Amino acid sequence: MLDLGAGSQSKARTVAEIAQSALKRPRHARALAGLASYLETAVVLELGTCLGITTAYLGKHATSVTTIEGNPALAGHAEDIWRRLNVQNVTSIVGDFDDVLPSLPPLQYDLIFIDGNHRGAALMRYVNELAPCLSEKGVIVCDDIHWSRDMEAAWDELIQENRWSLRVDFYEWGLLTANPSLAREFHRIRF
C-alpha cells in the first residue's frame, strides 16, 4: 500500500505495518476526543486520515468531521472502519493537502487536527493557511511536533507568533489557539 507520509522507509507497506507505526496511541486519541468534547466542537477538519481511527474518535464528539487523506486505499479502509463503528458524520476527501485545502468550503472550524506530511515547512504552510478558518475559540492541534528536528523547528517558530493566545506542548502534539478570552500563555505537559 502506498504511504505518502514523511520518513517512510519504503513506498509500499501493508495495512498492518501502517497501523503499527502510524496510529495514535489510544490514550492520545481519547485525549483528542476529550478536547473535542470539552470544546463542544461542531466542525472538525483533519489532515491525514490514515486508517480513520482518530477520525472515528473525533466523529463521536463533533457534529461533522472533514478528513483529507492522500492515499485512496487508506481512505477506503477508513470508510470501512467508520461503517463498522457506525460513524456517519465524516466526509472523506482523497487528495494531496496542498491541492484540496484551497477548494474547501469556507467554514469556521472548531478543531483542526494536522496529522500528515510531517515536514516543518508543510506544517507552517498548513497552519498559516488554516488559521483564518478557525472559529473564535477554535484550536489547531499539530501532531508529531517532536518527530524530527525540522518539525521541532517549525513548532518553535509557531509558538513564538503573537497571534496565538494559548500554546501547549503535549510532546506528542501541540495545541494553538487565538481565543481572545485567554491570556497569552505557553505550557509544556508530558502525558
- pLDDT value at position 3? 47
Q: What is the CATH number of the domain that holds 57?
A: 3.40.50.150
What was the pLDDT predicted at 19? 45
Say if 3 falls within a structural domain: no
Please check whether residue 53 lies inside any domain of the structure: yes
54 part of a folded domain: yes
| Predicted local distance difference test score (pLDDT) of residue 10 | 46
Q: Tell me what pLDDT residue 24 has.
A: 57
* Residue 11 covered by a domain: no
Q: Residue 162: which domain range?
A: 23-188
* pLDDT mean for each 10 residues of the chain (191 residues): 50 53 66 91 94 91 95 92 95 96 93 94 97 96 94 96 95 94 90 69
Residue 120 lies in a domain: yes
Q: Looking at the 3D structure of the chain, how many domains does it have?
A: 1
Considering only the C-alpha atoms of the chain, give the largest distance between any 2 of them, rounded to a whole number of Å.
46
The pTM for the full model equals 0.88
Check residue 20 and give its pLDDT. Answer: 47
Question: Do the domain assignments include residue 13?
Answer: no
Residue 4 lies in a domain: no
In a domain, 95, yes or no: yes
Give me the DSSP letters along the chain: -B--STT-SSSB--HHHHHHHHSPPHHHHHHHHHHHHHTT-SEEEEE--TTSHHHHHHHTTSSEEEEEES-HHHHHHHHHHHHHHT--SEEEEES-HHHHGGGS----EEEEEE-S---HHHHHHHHHHHGGGEEEEEEEEEE-TTSSHHHHHHHHHHHH-TT-SEEEE-SSEEEEE--TTS--EEEE---
